[in-house]
Every structure is written in C-alpha cells, then in structure tokens.
Structure 1
Amino acid sequence: MKRLIGLLLVLIGVLYPFVVYFGIEHFAPWQFALLLGGLWLARVLTGERRTASLAMAVVALSFCALLALLDSPVLLRWYPVLISGFMLCLFGASLIQGPPVVERLARLSEPDLPEVAIRYTRQVTWVWCGFFLFNGLTATVLTLWAPLHWWALWTGLLSYGLMGLLFAGEWIVRRRVRGGA
C-alpha cells in the first residue's frame, strides 16, 4: 500500500502543473488540497517514521491545509516550489549528515565504491543541489510574475527536460570517468 501511495504522490507531482492548468476552471483549489492532503496523510499513516519524511509530510500537509482554508488559485502554483525545496533539503542535508544521496544510489549497484567514486558522487550531489535551487527559484519567479501558461510550461515540461538532460549528462560523464579509470 505504501508503494502505491508513494507512486501516486510522484505521479500527482509530475502531472500537477497540467492538472492545475487544465483543471482550475473545473475544480476549486480546496478540492486540489483535499486530494493532495489525502495522499500526504496516507503516506504519513503507511510510511516509515523517519524524521525527514515526517517533516516533509508536515510541511506538505500544512500547505494543503492553507490551500484549503484560503481556497486560492494563486496558492496552487507554490506546490512545485515546495517540492524543489524538499529535494534541495534532502540532497543538501545528505551532504552534511552523509552519505550523499547520489552515493547511496550508487551503492545500490556497487556496494564497495572506491574513494574516487565517493568524491565524485559528492560532487554530483552538489550539482543536483544547484539544479533544485535553480528550479525552485525559477518556479518562484514564474509563480509571482508570469502567466499561468508559462508557469505550467516550466514546472510541467521544461524543468523535467532539464532534469533529464542533467541525469543523462551525468551518466555520460560517469561512463567516461569509469572507462578512463
């Protein structure tokens, strides 16, 4: 059940800008809040009780409560900023508390990483922090000053395209580094 809820949260997160863009004429913001809040609450009730997960859920549930209370279409646009902030905090905290997120992911396929690979994964985690900071700031600017269709284009398509390019570029660099080692 918890995997299904996690999958639904990811799916809603990816589709969220399009759902807002196309659904705002048919649904009230409090209805978006109810759906999103319900998924986050289900995640809390079925997920692991780690401090970071609970903190993230509390912030998301607070956002949903505020959205439901204010019933503001403008507030709907802040959710992608919140998600970028979550990701920045997750990756950034892993640099402080360790091991970095990218190292944890690398160890799934290669448990005994050499020291050079550990340093590399730390650098890649810094790059992802930079991406999430840039993405969050861009989403903030678009939320505050751009038309809805610009916001939807960035948060629903362009940012994911850049994320994919970053992922692919890192994969290519990693292959070259490993091939040359």
Structure 2
Amino acid sequence: MKQIIRGIVVILLILYPFFVGWSLSHGQLVWVSALLIGLGVVRLFSPGHALLWPLTGFAILCGSLSLLLKDHAWLKMYPVFMSVGALMIFAGTLIRPPSMIERFARLAEPELPASGVAWTRNITVVWCIFFTLNAMIALATVLFAPMQVWVIYNGFISYLLMGMLLLGEFILRKRQQRLHPVSNSTEES
C-alpha cells in the first residue's frame, strides 16, 4: 500500500505543471494549492525520506503561500524550488559522501571501484550544474513567459532534459567501463 501511495505522489508531482496550468485557466487556485500542500504532507509523514526534506518543505511552503496570499505565482514557483531542492540534496552528498550518483550506481554495482567513485562524483557535479540552470530557466518562465510556455518547459522540456542527461550518463558510464575494465586482482592490490 505504501508503494502505491508513493507512486501516486510521484505521478501527481510529475503532472503538477499541467494541474497548475489547467486550474489557473479555470480559476481553481485553491484546490491545486491544497493538492500541493497535501502531497507535501504525505511525503512529510512517509518514513525513510529524510533526504527529500527540501522538496517536501518547498511543496508545503509554495502551496501555503499561494493560499495565504491568494497569489498563483507561488504555485508556478514550485518547479524552481524543486530544482533548488534537488541541487541542495545533490550538493549535500558532495559534502557528505557518498555522492548521490554513487548511491544510485551502488544499487547496480555494490563493489564500485575507486575509478567509479570518482566518475560518479563528477557526474553528481554535472547534475548540480543542471539543477542550477534548470532553476534559472524555470524562474525565467515564471517571471517572463506566458502560462503555456511555463507548462511546456516545466511539464515536458525539463523532464526531457533530465532524461537525456540520465541516458547520456548511462551511455558514457558503460563506455568508461569498457575502456577501463577493473579486474579483481587490480581491486585487491
């Protein structure tokens, strides 16, 4: 049941820009603000997600400010804060290793060699750069773009860019592994 709820929360957060676009075009500020607060609260009380606290806090903050100030701009700011939150999470793992990408890599390869650790650290830096740029573009769509551009960028293009970065990293990692194979005898010495 917990996995189903977690899956629903993830899907709703992915579809969030479309909910905002639709609700604001139909004058439904209150229900989408409540939805964002509700998703944040569900995530807040989900066990084992301490690393996601920045994203959770920003969801509750943006939804609450939107309701209290009756200003839809706070709803549009959530993707900006999501990128800032992801940047905080990824950068935090650079300060307190293992890096985020190393954590992901160890799911598939628990005995990650030292070269793999260095590689994943560098890829985590690349993700930090991506989240910085994504936050700046998302902010520009809030401040300077019509709602349709905001929805297209934050609901489609940013996810497409993330997917391309993930795919590119996967392809380059496999290439790196082929070019620099690590034998068991090398790892032991």
With normalisation by structure 2, the TM-score equals 0.88
Instruction: Give the match's secondary structure for 2:45.
Output: helix
2:101 corresponds to: 102
Structure showing greater radius of gyration is: 2
1:171 aligns with 2:170: yes
Distance 2:52 2:154 in 1: 23
Question: Offset of 1:49 from its aligned partner?
Answer: 6.7
8 Å CA contact retained: 1:5, 1:43? no
CA deviations on 1:54-73 (whole Å, 9 max, x unpaired) are 45433321222111112222
1:76 aligns with 75
Mapped to 1, the partners of 2:169 and 2:57 lie a distance apart of 33
Distance 1:8 1:82 in 2: 21
Q: How many residues align?
A: 180
Measured against aligned partners, the alpha-carbon deviations of 1:106-160 in whole angstroms (never above 9, x if no partner) come to: 1111111110000000000000111111101000011011111111111111111
Aligned to 2:159: 160
Q: State the shift of 1:46 in Å.
A: 3.2
| Structure 2 contact 23–32 (Cα < 8 Å) conserved | no
Q: Which amino acid aligns with 1:44?
A: L
Structure ranking higher on relative contact order (CA contacts 8 Å, 6+ apart)? 1
The CA deviation string for residues 70-94 of structure 1, in whole angstroms up to 9 with x for no partner, is: 2222222101011111111110100
Q: What amino acid does structure 2 have at the position aligned with 1:74?
A: A
1:29 pairs with 2:17: no
RMSD: 1.7
Alignment of 1:20 with 2:20, yes or no, is yes
Query: Is the Cα contact below 8 Å between 2:39 and 2:59 reproduced in 1?
Result: no
Q: Partner amino acid for 1:134?
A: L
Could you list the structure 1 runs, at least 4 aligned residues long, displaced by more than 6 angstroms after superposition.
none
- Whole-angstrom CA distance in 2 between matches of 1:135 and 1:20: 19
Aligned to 2:57: 58
Quick one: which amino acid aligns to residue 79 of structure 1? Y
Q: Is the 8 A contact 1:67 1:75 kept in 2?
A: yes
Q: CA deviation at 1:32?
A: 0.9
Q: CA offset at residue 53 of structure 1?
A: 3.7
Residues of 2 paired with 1:49 and 1:99: CA distance?
Answer: 17
Please report the TM-score for the alignment, with normalisation by the length of structure 1: 0.91
CA distance in 2, matches of 1:64, 1:151: 17
Residues 156 and 92 (structure 1 numbering): CA distance in 2 closer, same or farther, change over 3 Å? same
Q: Distance in 1 between matches of 2:56 and 2:157?
A: 26
> Any unmatched runs of 5+ in structure 1?
none
Taking a change above 3 Å as real, the CA distance of residues 74 and 62 of structure 1, as seen in their structure-2 partners, is closer
